[in-house]
């Protein structure tokens, strides 16, 4: 899956906490992309209220169901989305 991801931006690495909108500016700068061409993926509705901030910044967002066990899988949903033909 990592070959489909151009950059990971973790709030803990930047001293920010969700849903601080500055995290999206950092991600967009690192990627060199426009907000409307960048997908924000989250997995916790409570923590990823950032998805609202992303949408307001013009970024499409995908909120996945949270993992409930180590046997759960969710990234196939993202892979299917990014692999979908235009």
Residue-wise pLDDT for 51-83, tens only, equals 777 777 788 888 877 778 878 777 777 777 777
CATH assignment of 2-83, among 3.40.50.1000, 1.10.3720.10, 3.40.50.300, 3.40.50.960: 3.40.50.1000
| pLDDT score recorded for residue 34 | 93
To the question of pTM greater than 0.75 for the whole model, the response is: no
For the CA atoms of 72, 6, 24, 47, what is the dihedral angle to 10 degrees?
A: 10
DSSP secondary structure letter of residue 14: H
- Bridge partners of 62, per DSSP, are 41
**Maximum alpha-carbon separation in the chain:** 37
Q: Which residue has the higher pLDDT, 4 or 25?
A: 25
Angle at 9 between CA 29 and CA 59, to 5 degrees: 60
Task: Count the Cβ atoms, other than its own, within 10 Å of residue 40.
Answer: 21
């Amino acid at each position: 899956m990592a070959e489909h991801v151009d950059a990971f931006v973790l709030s803990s690495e930047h001293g920010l906490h969700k849903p601080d909108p500055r995290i999206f500016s950092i991600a967009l700068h690192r990627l060199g992309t426009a907000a409307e061409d960048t997908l924000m993926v989250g997995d916790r509705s409570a923590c990823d209220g950032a998805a609202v901030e992303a949408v307001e910044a013009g970024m499409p967002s995908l909120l996945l169901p949270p993992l409930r066990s180590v046997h759960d899988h969710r990234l196939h949903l993202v892979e299917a989305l990014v692999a979908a033909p235009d």
